[in-house]
Structure 1
Amino acid sequence: MRKPAAAALTALALLAAACGGTDGGTAATGGTFTFALPADPGALDPAMGVLSVTNTVLSLAYDPLVHYSAAGKIVPGLAETWQVKPDSVTFTLRKGATCSDGAPLTASDVAASVNHIADPATKSPVYGVFVPVGMQAKADDAAGTVTLSMPEPFSFILESARSILVVCGKGVKDRSLLARGTSGSGPYRLAEAVPSDHYTFEVRKDYAWGPAGATAKDLPDKVVLKVVPNEQTAANLLVSGSLNGAALFGPDRARLEADPRIGKKVVASGNGQFFYHQGDDRPAHDPAVRKALTQAVDLKELAGIASSGTGRPATALTLEPRACPGDTVTGHVPAYDAAAATAALDAAGWRPGGDGIRVKDGKRLTLRLMYATTRGAGVQAAAEYLGAAWRKAWVEVKLNGGIDAKVSESLNSTQDWDVAWVPIGVTLPSQLVGFLSGPGAPKGANFAHLSNKRYESLVAKAGLVPSAEGCPSWQESESALFENADLIPVVENTVLQASKGATYEMQASLFVPTSIRLTEGG
């Protein structure tokens, strides 16, 4: 069974779960809604779209089989009804849905979307994340049904369908059309793509199969997504009215939060945490060293630094809307105690050498701390704080910041790191199993070479029963990782969803496109 590509995890850092909307005035009809993207989305094929900015763009043009409601419940999408078994789910599609080229949506389209991602030749980075490893789809066009099946029972077989964006029409047979175009059943179609500048979508007036019966009637005629990498620029454009919406993480959000002319909502946007490399030749292979290094850090202070004071306490690996709600963090992470950390490193055989750096068997205790410089000033400051905390314990720390591509290469290929700040933003615990267990990189997705037998046993048990029944085991499995200091949850980041002259909602970095409205006096 093929494992997902390890490189995908770096991109998972941007799959931030953000559920929320913005406030405004009286709804207006027609017009153009303009939103800021922090980066260019790249190729627009849903099978390759693992970056959050890519999926933000795709969400305007593609529908999933089911949606999440604001309360986190599964509700109909392209599927009207479904029948769930332990190892399969059969969806009955709604009638009348069409693709952007006018072709009717078929069960075969849905099956092709799933099977294309699961095909080893595709090398899709979302296989094992959005589409579970081993999933296959079978269509019955006459009955209007499609069945997603697994080799064995799988907890989240229904919930996984929320993340699968269905390709239909001409794009099914010619995926090359999707590099700079769209071929979906969503309420918008891509009309113009100017990479690194803007992407213009036009509404489909015939769209009438949105969640809860939503139609295109009240939607803006156009949506323009402008590439604005600088947050200060995005904030200025929003205040001036040149933008209707933007998501802000950094210091510029404070002035928008204080501006009464701006619609605003603060929502979750992904976890901040760090992993220890547990390869046989790494100092963090020893659990005593991992726990000591964790005790040397004031995680509460680190959380404030990493999030620039805008974060929330981390309570789980997955984010809202959670399939398994609850706190898996509190009481399970080694507590801050600098003196205990020093004593534990001494006991593990790492003693200060002549220059003050700890040494064991002639080898210096050196940590190469890797992080992405593209994640903002908070992450840079967090890396510097971690370095300072460990240096106080006589550990040599080398900061190794780089762009996402460099971090991805280090995780997947060169393995040139000892500690990595790798945010995660997923809503299903099953989406992380391949990254937290199994073959280590580069042979598998387990980039940190984790080997937590308790975690593996618990997820194996949880995965074989329905999601609600398995939740206690899923939650216990996360806590097992924290207790063993395999990865250290630090903070749940937040983002300001800001608007002016419009309202909109987003879930897990995806637009709820039928929620977009221009407003008068907003």
Structure 2
Amino acid sequence: MSARPLVATALTALAALTLTACASGGGASADSINATLGTDPGGFDPALARAADDYYVDRMLFDTLLRKDDDNQLVGGLATEWEATSASSYTFTIRDGATCSDGTEITPTIVADSLSRFADPETASTGRTLAMGGATADITADDAAGTVAVQLSDDWSDFLTGMTLPHTGIVCPAGLADPEGLLAGTVDGAFSGPYTLTDAQPAVSYELTLRDDYDAWPEFSTPVEGTPAQTVTFTPIADQATQATQLLSGGIDVASFSGEDVERFDGDDAYTQSSVTGLTSYLVFNEREGSVFADDPELRAAVAQAVDPAAFADVLTNGRGDTIASVSSDSVACVNTDDSLLAGYDADAASAVLDGVSIHLVGTQLFGPGNEYVAEVLRAAGADVSYDELDNANWSTTTGSPTGWDMTVQGDINLMGTLTSSLLRVMGPSQEDGGRNKMGLVNETGYSALNEAMSIVDPAAQCEPMQAAQTSMLENVDAAPLASVPTTVVTAEGVSIRTFDDYIDPSTMRIVE
């Protein structure tokens, strides 16, 4: 198979963004930015966000208590101060003067009500496991003191970072009173963030308008320069193949690339490049009863042996990606780098096990070349492979279901920049139980080690149990690491966006002189 670049897509919050603004001649007015999504958002209830398109829009519409800054540090959002007295006890001081989109003052009670709904297992937010593990939360407000206190039933030292997730966006009272309208985006007073949703036409466009009264921008360590657009319009466009040409011709102002097209901008001073590596790819197996991979680590290992991670990286990223030895990139703290724990590429050994085995592979069309490579090498090993290529929304829904698939190439957005974020894809509560675990079974050994790490406040001391968690996952072949997928954001003169280590924050889009 010839190497083909992965086009810039909304598969992840890293690779999703393509903007147009008249600052460089592409837009309709000097105060507008047009951006693309890979597909329609699944809704506008931040607690129920499931995919990158949801995360992008929710970040614009809803503020969170905290935000991520450079070096994975935290900065205030709706909270101006925060304190962890232990791995299970937290206090936040809420910003004075913040308001909802209908003018309602955002009080500690409003914050506590919204977070209590997010933390309720009945809400089934996929961000809940990330933010607080399997714990329950007692969230109380003190309006007189201006604080919100959170007491978790179990330690979870990633909780503060969890409060940066778009899932934790504060929903105002009008939205909580009308959950169906909130999901549909029709409740004008639901929003706590800088923009409101003023027009939604599925498959056509989503128009967001800057609030005149908004003044709660985070104070990042390096200030965001430029002027927020008065109007941001997101248009669902899956095909990104022409983005480089459009950017070079002035039709758009910002695009993200994970393949060779980015080389067209090398040496051109009219464009600025910034690279991030927060997206990883790995094989995930459905281990629920009824799947061919249930109770069969030998078969899962054979699949891992059939797929050459280096060849996969070349096909998917045109050689720009690096192989990985865990489910996170090498830049994440405590990540495993020991290749000896992997099944290892061995086509002959794989064929001895895979010959005649029927496998249903599903994949997002945004990882098309990589998915096709996996399907072909499994067929070459003798497996009978059926492959369904789905748009990102349907792929997310399918792999979030207990049945209808055997394996997938997972494109993993590390929303928190922590190893926990990715490990919960392959251990801990399953998606049908409100968690992130796609394989369906709880790896008790790995999850116990992960919980041990989350009881430790000192990040350096977390690495030993984190290594134990990864070792268990790799030995059981619950996942098979493939490659990191670097994304280069290219901006033309007139529009900017900030990157924070491996994270791109869409709310930092600015029109600049």
Within the alignment, does 1:420 sit opposite 2:404 as a pair? Answer: no
Within the alignment, does 1:224 sit opposite 2:229 as a pair? Answer: no
Range 82-91 or range 490-499, more displaced:
490-499
The count of corresponding residues between Structure 1 and Structure 2 is 483
Range 52-61 or range 283-292, more displaced:
283-292
- Residue 458 of structure 1 corresponds to 449
Range 185-194 or range 448-457, more displaced:
448-457
1:196-215: CA deviation from partner (whole Å, max 9, x where unpaired): 22223333344333222769
Instruction: Report deviation, 1:276.
Output: 3.1
Secondary structure of the residue aligned to 2:468 is helix
What amino acid is aligned across from residue 62 of structure 1 in structure 2? F
1:65-124: CA deviation from partner (whole Å, max 9, x where unpaired): 111112211122211111212212110112122222222111122112222223344343
**Within-5 A mapping of 1:499-510:** 499-500=491-492, 501-506=494-499
Q: Describe the shift of the 1:246–1:179 C-alpha distance in structure 2 as closer, same or farther (beyond 3 A).
A: farther
Pairing partner for 2:316 from 302, 306, 312: 306
- Residue 7 of structure 2 corresponds to none
- Residue 9 of structure 1 corresponds to none
**Structure-2 separation of matches of 1:166 and 1:510:** 20
Percent of paired sites with the same residue? 26
What amino acid is aligned across from residue 52 of structure 2 in structure 1? S
**Structure-1 separation of matches of 2:228 and 2:330:** 27
Q: Describe the shift of the 1:284–1:179 C-alpha distance in structure 2 as closer, same or farther (beyond 3 A).
A: closer
Structure 2, unpaired ranges of 5+? 1-9
Pairing partner for 1:381 from 372, 375, 387: 372
Instruction: Report deviation, 1:434.
Output: 5.5
**Structure-2 separation of matches of 1:17 and 1:306:** 15
Higher relative contact order (CA closer than 8 Å, sequence separation 6+): 1
Which structure has the bigger radius of gyration? 1
Tell me if structure 2 keeps the 8 A contact 1:296–1:336: yes
**Structure-2 separation of matches of 1:318 and 1:340:** 27
What amino acid is aligned across from residue 509 of structure 2 in structure 1? I
Within the alignment, does 1:167 sit opposite 2:171 as a pair? Answer: yes
Secondary structure of the residue aligned to 2:511 is strand
Range 435-444 or range 88-97, more displaced:
435-444
Pairing partner for 1:493 from 476, 485, 496: 485
Instruction: Report deviation, 1:400.
Output: 4.0
**Structure-2 separation of matches of 1:225 and 1:267:** 22
Q: Describe the shift of the 1:338–1:172 C-alpha distance in structure 2 as closer, same or farther (beyond 3 A).
A: closer
**Within-5 A mapping of 1:320-335:** 322=332, 324-328=333-337, 330-335=339-344
Instruction: Report deviation, 1:162.
Output: 0.9
- Residue 362 of structure 1 corresponds to none
Within the alignment, does 1:511 sit opposite 2:505 as a pair? Answer: yes
Range 42-51 or range 308-317, more displaced:
308-317
Pairing partner for 2:427 from 419, 437, 441: 437
Q: What TM-score results when the alignment is normalised by the length of structure 1?
A: 0.80
Range 75-84 or range 420-429, more displaced:
420-429
Secondary structure of the residue aligned to 1:424 is strand
Q: Describe the shift of the 1:161–1:442 C-alpha distance in structure 2 as closer, same or farther (beyond 3 A).
A: closer
Q: Describe the shift of the 1:413–1:221 C-alpha distance in structure 2 as closer, same or farther (beyond 3 A).
A: closer
Pairing partner for 1:479 from 471, 478, 484: 471
Q: Describe the shift of the 1:304–1:435 C-alpha distance in structure 2 as closer, same or farther (beyond 3 A).
A: same
**Structure-1 separation of matches of 2:379 and 2:250:** 43
**Structure-1 separation of matches of 2:18 and 2:398:** 36
**Structure-2 separation of matches of 1:278 and 1:396:** 18
Structure 1, unpaired ranges of 5+? 1-12, 351-356, 359-364
1:37-84: CA deviation from partner (whole Å, max 9, x where unpaired): 222224212122221112111212222111111221112221111121
Q: Describe the shift of the 1:341–1:381 C-alpha distance in structure 2 as closer, same or farther (beyond 3 A).
A: closer
Q: Describe the shift of the 1:211–1:274 C-alpha distance in structure 2 as closer, same or farther (beyond 3 A).
A: same
Q: Describe the shift of the 1:149–1:20 C-alpha distance in structure 2 as closer, same or farther (beyond 3 A).
A: farther
**Structure-2 separation of matches of 1:70 and 1:18:** 19
- Residue 180 of structure 1 corresponds to 185
Tell me if structure 2 keeps the 8 A contact 1:458–1:477: yes
Within the alignment, does 1:137 sit opposite 2:139 as a pair? Answer: yes
1:154-208: CA deviation from partner (whole Å, max 9, x where unpaired): 1212111111211225324333145225633323333333322222333334433
Pairing partner for 1:192 from 183, 196, 199: 199
